Chain A
């Protein structure tokens, strides 16, 4: 067991290291690039004195390294600073929005993951026949469609013409779960469509890869039926690659969230980020960037840990 734990610990440490490096990159990206925050906030007409004051207020005259560390240590303690534009605490603003975003992403994942795995299996079962071909055609189309095309198409037909769902996904804490789910019906549908095809196709490839192994032929030559072959011999070896596929696509989902929130004017992290990019509110952008990156790295970490934990060579060393 011990090499397994060592490896998992190593992966987690590596993930944390990566997150640290990402924080440096995000900080450097916003603070060291030639663009000047103060100048961009005050505009071209700002006087030199106003600029100098602004810089001092923002602490921009301190060395970058010390600013980075004070930013990082506050962030670790949950203090993400104050927004330049509103002067409000970023942490408290983000908390509710992050909850909303996770709510949206959660329901999209709940629908998309089982559906994608099921359809992926279906494509494997009917490899080369029409269900398989239909699935690859849909995939081809779906990876080419921008999220806003699917989004506005749904708003145009389902919300405006049919009136089944609202075109604007407004939710607030006092709503019941049913009301919330009705409100996010369309954004969830868009997110599902965006990740489903990818996930399906990659699941199909992962399972086909396992099904082509020699030990599947062995199982077939033992006279096992298709179900037992898949359940006993393909499934245990397909867990790791399929989890990998799912995590990769959930990571993709959090990018889709940004655009979908803007389309449906949903009060989540994505819209918050986009708003403040336009306003050039750097502390907010840094905070959101860090959180998105942390989720992304976390999902990839889970995939790695699962594939380590299901590897028989590591679970049962010589």
Chain B
């Protein structure tokens, strides 16, 4: 009890929301949470969006972002309640006793100042070190965090270094004044998976060396399991459970935690290809103008009723592949065969049937639907446009489609803004099904969704595939998703097809270096996974 230097009791946090066309109203987003943390320990805070995890993290610095404010409870840090020490007291504590690492280091560094100046700023402000001392420490942290050319790294400006490096620089900034506690707020979420693993390892090592305590906020249980001593699961602003990382992963006591633990482990049995391919890409090379080719000689086939997953990191060319297939970006070389016939390269030259049989679902469902159209209009339009179905008949078919995506008739007159993220994505699925397509391109369709919601969408897609015999070209960066939906896999890297074949072929060793790196970088729900991977992998990540 006495050795908890951070002791949060009954924390309540409120916010003001501005619903459209209504008066602003106050809501409570965290309903009484208790946290105790001992010196040198790392607590993971995990939950879906809206669980209040970031808000709680910031509350330990007495800070509320935007309209957010702490409405109740006590936050004891090093023996005094920081909610009672006033603005001046808080200034004395922020940047000295507690520091912060944000999700987007790129936005969190001042673009007009050199990195070193910003990194030593809090140490100087609070008189922790002299400038020379602080800079020497910063260089040491740069070295420990694996940053290139540590002596001169601080002379650079934020825009001159990569995203993964900035995230480590921000960690150095948090370490520099030797705080008692660092709040990590999704520090690796915005990074590519092969970069994430290195930053994660650097953060873990830094915590171990300095012995600082940390609150590590993330939505990814597998990530937090690698760095935390304890994990607290949050949902809707309340604690679900708290235990050691080991126990949470292997033997959780709550159903919700069990669902989170098992979410990415579902396996989808691979189907053998039947008949002629519905889609054949032959030696596609594409460019957005200029000499840079974003796709280089890419060929792949997809069979009816099957799923081909196109996997890669940002810049791999996976989304460009979709643009080429849809005709938005005609290729420089190569051709696309659809159902045995050659597709005209540009959208404008394609027949209405070509367009109908090839549908697309987007990552961000809320911008994929016109906010001024009702769900009925959105789903009904393809029926009318492709088949000329109107009036009562259209309504009947629309309701049937709504039933298929498990939403039902009551949604027909609603607007997209009234739906949750998962519901919106379901409507987009219904809209593409309305065209009776042979192929649907799914572009990162589950990436923006919480894991449990994403799992529901994947299950729906698989059910619909079985019913309608539609093929999916499933574009994703997430290998865990691939395992639970794909029949065959194409791994892309720097615009080239790195590895291609049936799921079993692609996921069975021996691997090429990049595929090995990519596969091994996907966090697994296992304690000690991180150390194991770092010890055994063949290739350093490319993002650094």
Minimum CB distance partner of B156 in chain A: A316
The listed residue (B90, B111, B125) touching A215 by CB distance below 8 A is B111
Given A218-B102, A318-B159, A224 and B65 contact (CB-CB distance below 8 Å): no
Establish whether residues A221 and B110, one from each chain, have CB atoms under 8 Å apart when the complex forms.
Answer: no
Establish whether residues B109 and A223, one from each chain, have CB atoms under 8 Å apart when the complex forms.
Answer: no
Establish whether residues B107 and A223, one from each chain, have CB atoms under 8 Å apart when the complex forms.
Answer: no
Q: Which residues of A contact B41 (CB under 8 A)?
A: none
Establish whether residues A233 and B110, one from each chain, have CB atoms under 8 Å apart when the complex forms.
Answer: yes
Give the residue among B93, B102, B108 with the most A Cβ atoms within 10 A. Answer: B108
Instruction: Assign chain A's interface to a size class.
Output: 20 to 34
Establish whether residues B109 and A222, one from each chain, have CB atoms under 8 Å apart when the complex forms.
Answer: no
Given A237-B112, A312-B159, A223 and B91 contact (CB-CB distance below 8 Å): yes
Asked if B528 is at the interface (CB within 8 A of a chain A CB), the reply is no
Task: Classify the interface of chain A: helix, strand, loop or mixed.
Answer: helix
Q: Which residues of A contact B94 (CB under 8 A)?
A: 220-223
Q: Which residues of A contact B111 (CB under 8 A)?
A: 215, 237, 312-313
Minimum CB distance partner of B109 in chain A: A215
Establish whether residues A223 and B112, one from each chain, have CB atoms under 8 Å apart when the complex forms.
Answer: no
The listed residue (A217, A222, A310) touching B121 by CB distance below 8 A is A222
Asked if B99 is at the interface (CB within 8 A of a chain A CB), the reply is yes
Minimum CB distance partner of B97 in chain A: A223
Q: Which residues of A contact B61 (CB under 8 A)?
A: 221
Asked if A236 is at the interface (CB within 8 A of a chain B CB), the reply is yes
Given A312-B159, A316-B157, A316-B160, A220 and B110 contact (CB-CB distance below 8 Å): no
Least distance between A3 CB and chain B CB atoms (Å): 13
Within 8 A of B (CB), among A290-318: 310, 312-313, 316, 318
Least distance between A242 CB and chain B CB atoms (Å): 14
Asked if A77 is at the interface (CB within 8 A of a chain B CB), the reply is no
Establish whether residues B95 and A221, one from each chain, have CB atoms under 8 Å apart when the complex forms.
Answer: yes
Asked if A162 is at the interface (CB within 8 A of a chain B CB), the reply is no
Within 8 A of A (CB), among B21-77: 61, 63, 65
Minimum CB distance partner of A313 in chain B: B159
Given A236-B110, A236-B112, A223 and B159 contact (CB-CB distance below 8 Å): no
Asked if B122 is at the interface (CB within 8 A of a chain A CB), the reply is yes
Least distance between B70 CB and chain A CB atoms (Å): 15
Establish whether residues A215 and B108, one from each chain, have CB atoms under 8 Å apart when the complex forms.
Answer: yes
Least distance between A229 CB and chain B CB atoms (Å): 10
Establish whether residues A236 and B91, one from each chain, have CB atoms under 8 Å apart when the complex forms.
Answer: no
Q: Which residues of B contact A176 (CB under 8 A)?
A: none
Asked if A70 is at the interface (CB within 8 A of a chain B CB), the reply is no
Q: Which residues of B contact A110 (CB under 8 A)?
A: none
Asked if B126 is at the interface (CB within 8 A of a chain A CB), the reply is yes
Minimum CB distance partner of A218 in chain B: B108
Q: Which residues of B contact A218 (CB under 8 A)?
A: 100, 102, 108-110, 118
Establish whether residues A215 and B107, one from each chain, have CB atoms under 8 Å apart when the complex forms.
Answer: yes
Asked if A177 is at the interface (CB within 8 A of a chain B CB), the reply is no
C-alpha spacing A235/B46, complex, angstroms:
37
Asked if A6 is at the interface (CB within 8 A of a chain B CB), the reply is no
The listed residue (A223, A312, A318) touching B125 by CB distance below 8 A is A223
Q: Which residues of B contact A219 (CB under 8 A)?
A: 110, 121
C-alpha spacing A173/B269, complex, angstroms:
95
C-alpha spacing A219/B61, complex, angstroms:
13
Interface mask (B149-175 → A, CB under 8 Å = 1, otherwise 0): 000000001011000000000000000
C-alpha spacing A313/B63, complex, angstroms:
31
Given A218-B102, A316-B157, A223 and B108 contact (CB-CB distance below 8 Å): no
Q: Which residues of A contact B109 (CB under 8 A)?
A: 215, 218
Interface mask (B75-115 → A, CB under 8 Å = 1, otherwise 0): 00000000000000011111110011010100111111100
Minimum CB distance partner of A221 in chain B: B100
Given A222-B94, A318-B159, A312 and B112 contact (CB-CB distance below 8 Å): yes
Interface mask (B106-142 → A, CB under 8 Å = 1, otherwise 0): 0111111100001001100110000000000000000
C-alpha spacing A98/B165, complex, angstroms:
56
Minimum CB distance partner of A233 in chain B: B110
C-alpha spacing A316/B156, complex, angstroms:
9
Least distance between A318 CB and chain B CB atoms (Å): 5
Given A218-B102, A318-B159, A224 and B91 contact (CB-CB distance below 8 Å): yes
Minimum CB distance partner of A240 in chain B: B112
Interface mask (B4-18 → A, CB under 8 Å = 1, otherwise 0): 000000000000000
Establish whether residues B159 and A220, one from each chain, have CB atoms under 8 Å apart when the complex forms.
Answer: no
Within 8 A of B (CB), among A196-249: 213-215, 217-225, 228, 232-233, 236-237
Q: Which residues of B contact A224 (CB under 8 A)?
A: 91, 95, 121-122, 125
The listed residue (B63, B90, B104, B160) touching A318 by CB distance below 8 A is B160
C-alpha spacing A221/B92, complex, angstroms:
10
Q: Which residues of B contact A221 (CB under 8 A)?
A: 61, 63, 94-95, 99-100
C-alpha spacing A46/B109, complex, angstroms:
74
C-alpha spacing A233/B125, complex, angstroms:
14
C-alpha spacing A313/B104, complex, angstroms:
18
The listed residue (B96, B104, B110) touching A223 by CB distance below 8 A is B96
Q: Which residues of B contact A318 (CB under 8 A)?
A: 159-160
C-alpha spacing A214/B95, complex, angstroms:
16
Given A221-B95, A223-B126, A214 and B112 contact (CB-CB distance below 8 Å): no
C-alpha spacing A48/B100, complex, angstroms:
86
Establish whether residues A217 and B126, one from each chain, have CB atoms under 8 Å apart when the complex forms.
Answer: no
Minimum CB distance partner of B161 in chain A: A318
Minimum CB distance partner of B123 in chain A: A222
Interface mask (A68-85 → B, CB under 8 Å = 1, otherwise 0): 000000000000000000
C-alpha spacing A316/B95, complex, angstroms:
28
Minimum CB distance partner of B91 in chain A: A223
Q: Which residues of A contact B90 (CB under 8 A)?
A: 223
C-alpha spacing A233/B160, complex, angstroms:
18
Minimum CB distance partner of A213 in chain B: B107
Minimum CB distance partner of B93 in chain A: A223
Q: Which residues of A contact B99 (CB under 8 A)?
A: 221-222
Minimum CB distance partner of B170 in chain A: A218
Establish whether residues A223 and B95, one from each chain, have CB atoms under 8 Å apart when the complex forms.
Answer: yes
Least distance between A128 CB and chain B CB atoms (Å): 11
5 tightest Cβ-Cβ pairs between the two chains A and B: A222-B95, A223-B95, A223-B94, A214-B107, A236-B112
User: What is A's interface to B at a CB cutoff of 8 Å?
Assistant: 213-215, 217-225, 228, 232-233, 236-237, 310, 312-313, 316, 318
Given A214-B104, A215-B108, A228-B125; 14 other pairs, CB 8 A cutoff:
A214-B108, A215-B107, A215-B109, A215-B110, A217-B65, A221-B94, A222-B99, A222-B125, A223-B91, A224-B121, A233-B113, A237-B111, A312-B159, A316-B159
User: What is B's interface to A at a CB cutoff of 8 Å?
Assistant: 61, 63, 65, 90-96, 99-100, 102, 104, 107-113, 118, 121-122, 125-126, 157, 159-160
14 contacts between A and B (CB under 8 A): A215-B109, A217-B102, A217-B108, A218-B118, A219-B121, A221-B95, A222-B121, A223-B92, A223-B93, A224-B122, A232-B121, A312-B112, A312-B157, A313-B159
